[in-house]
Amino acid sequence: MAQGKAVIFCAPSGAGKTTIVKHLIDKIPQLKFSVSATTRPMRAGVEKDGKDYHFLSSEQFEDKIQNNELLEWEEVYQGVRYGTLKEEVDRIWDSGNHVIFDVDVEGGLKLKAALGDDALGIFVSVESVEVLAERLRNRNTDSEESLNKRIAKAAEEMAYAPKFDQILINSDLNEAFEKAERLVLDFIK
């Protein structure tokens, strides 16, 4: 297996990490997205299995844990697990590319610990939890109960920012795109 580099993007829900990651994939051809595995239900009409996530049953996910097929995993919300399949990373590195992750904060820290100096951890943040709450409400993808859970989780996750290699404040999306491009290109060159 050839080993490339890994770029890990983490953020609380609503900070814009997925938008930034998609932009980077479009702009930097040698970056390939690592599709995470999850036990959460697919958002109908919005997501596709194998593209947005590998949607697994709780039993399938547990089998992956038992067989040491995950680089990292986390129960992000009660009964909802997310993880990184080793075969995903191997597939990308074997193709001569670098892997880019869009993962939760704890998963990102575990990936950074596992991959060491071959990984760059970037925490995407915004000015305040209130800004995150507004962005999440504007999505209209979650129930009020789910939204409240996400907002509470986001507030906790903001405290993790200093544990990452870089903090990228996303108050202006175009500026965030430019800074993210510079950070990634400097790291993978």
Is residue 123 within 8 A of residue 166, CB to CB? The reply is yes
CA atoms of 54 and 40, how far apart (whole Å): 10
- Whether this model's pTM surpasses 0.85: no
**Is 132's pLDDT higher than 80?**
no
Domain assignment present for residue 79? The answer is: yes
The CATH number given to whatever domain includes residue 54 is 3.40.50.300
Residue with tokens 């932009």: 23
CA atoms of 123 and 135, how far apart (whole Å): 17
pLDDT-based confidence at residue 134 (cuts at 50, 70, 90)? confident
Lowest mean pLDDT among 53-62, 91-100, 108-117, 139-148: 139-148
Please tell me the predicted confidence (pLDDT) of residue 135.
75
Which of these, 85, 81, 53, 82, lies nearest to 67 by C-alpha position?
85
Domain assignment present for residue 156? The answer is: yes
Structural domain tally of the chain? Answer: 1
Domain assignment present for residue 177? The answer is: yes
Give the mean pLDDT of the chain: 91
CA atoms of 115 and 93, how far apart (whole Å): 13
Domain assignment present for residue 148? The answer is: yes
In this structure, what are the phi and psi dihedrals at residue 134, rounded to the nearest 5 degrees? Answer: -65, -45
Residues constituting the chain: 189
Instruction: Read off the pLDDT of residues 23-46 as tens digits, 9 standing for 90 and up.
Output: 999 999 999 999 999 999 999 899
**Domain range holding 160?**
6-188
Please tell me the predicted confidence (pLDDT) of residue 1.
42
Domain assignment present for residue 1? The answer is: no
Torsion-angle region of 48 (φ positive above 0: left; ψ -120 to 50: alpha; else: beta): beta
Instruction: Read off the pLDDT of residues 139-185 as tens digits, 9 standing for 90 and up.
Output: 777 788 888 887 888 888 888 999 999 999 998 999 999 999 999 99
Tokens of 135: 């962005």
Mean pLDDT to the nearest integer, 120-128: 91
Domain assignment present for residue 142? The answer is: yes
Please tell me the predicted confidence (pLDDT) of residue 147.
82
Q: How far apart are the first and last CA of the chain?
A: 20
CA atoms of 60 and 39, how far apart (whole Å): 9
Please tell me the predicted confidence (pLDDT) of residue 115.
93
Domain assignment present for residue 135? The answer is: yes
